[in-house]
Amino acid sequence: MADILPFRKPSLQEKHKGKTLCRHGHHKWEVDKAKQFDVKQGKLVTVYRCVRCGQQKVKAH
Protein backbone atom coordinates (compact mmCIF):
# COMPACT_ATOMS: atom_id res chain seq x y z
CA MET A 1 0.00 0.00 0.00
CA ALA A 2 1.12 3.52 -0.67
CA ASP A 3 1.58 6.21 1.95
CA ILE A 4 -1.26 8.74 2.02
CA LEU A 5 -0.01 12.33 2.01
CA PRO A 6 -2.14 15.02 3.64
CA PHE A 7 -2.92 17.79 1.14
CA ARG A 8 -4.00 21.22 2.20
CA LYS A 9 -5.59 24.02 0.28
CA PRO A 10 -3.16 26.95 -0.25
CA SER A 11 -4.15 30.10 1.60
CA LEU A 12 -5.13 33.21 -0.35
CA GLN A 13 -1.90 34.87 0.72
CA GLU A 14 0.18 32.05 -0.78
CA LYS A 15 -1.98 31.84 -3.89
CA HIS A 16 -1.66 35.52 -4.86
CA LYS A 17 1.86 36.19 -3.58
CA GLY A 18 3.57 38.91 -5.65
CA LYS A 19 0.69 39.47 -8.06
CA THR A 20 -0.88 42.40 -6.22
CA LEU A 21 2.31 44.46 -6.39
CA CYS A 22 2.52 44.11 -10.17
CA ARG A 23 -1.18 44.84 -10.56
CA HIS A 24 -0.61 48.24 -8.93
CA GLY A 25 2.46 49.06 -11.06
CA HIS A 26 5.22 48.03 -8.64
CA HIS A 27 7.14 45.62 -10.87
CA LYS A 28 10.51 44.08 -10.03
CA TRP A 29 12.51 44.78 -13.19
CA GLU A 30 15.63 42.83 -14.19
CA VAL A 31 17.64 43.16 -17.40
CA ASP A 32 16.99 40.37 -19.92
CA LYS A 33 20.35 39.81 -21.62
CA ALA A 34 19.02 37.44 -24.30
CA LYS A 35 17.74 40.30 -26.51
CA GLN A 36 20.03 43.32 -26.84
CA PHE A 37 19.65 44.36 -30.48
CA ASP A 38 16.47 45.49 -32.26
CA VAL A 39 16.48 44.35 -35.89
CA LYS A 40 13.77 46.73 -37.14
CA GLN A 41 15.29 49.93 -35.73
CA GLY A 42 18.91 48.79 -35.96
CA LYS A 43 19.65 50.03 -32.45
CA LEU A 44 20.85 48.61 -29.18
CA VAL A 45 17.99 48.19 -26.76
CA THR A 46 17.68 47.13 -23.14
CA VAL A 47 14.87 44.70 -22.43
CA TYR A 48 13.60 44.64 -18.86
CA ARG A 49 11.50 41.70 -17.63
CA CYS A 50 9.48 41.63 -14.41
CA VAL A 51 10.56 38.73 -12.23
CA ARG A 52 7.11 38.27 -10.68
CA CYS A 53 4.70 38.51 -13.61
CA GLY A 54 6.90 38.30 -16.74
CA GLN A 55 5.87 41.62 -18.32
CA GLN A 56 8.45 43.25 -20.63
CA LYS A 57 9.64 46.84 -20.93
CA VAL A 58 11.97 48.02 -23.71
CA LYS A 59 14.27 51.03 -23.52
CA ALA A 60 16.15 52.18 -26.63
CA HIS A 61 19.56 53.82 -26.38
Answer for the pair 27, 50: CB distance below 8 angstroms, yes or no: yes
Residue 38 pairs with which residues in a beta bridge? Answer: 43
**Phi-psi region for residue 41, left (φ > 0), alpha (ψ -120 to 50) or beta?**
alpha
CA-CA distances (angstroms) from residue 33 to 5, 11, 30, 45, 59? 42, 35, 9, 10, 13
pLDDT at residue 60 in the model: 78
Of 59, 60, 57, 58, nearest in space to 25 by CA: 57
Return the pLDDT at 10: 83
pLDDT for the residue 39: 67
Encode pLDDT of 6-44 as tens digits. 788 888 887 777 677 888 888 999 998 887 766 666 777
Task: Give the per-residue pLDDT at 49.
Answer: 93
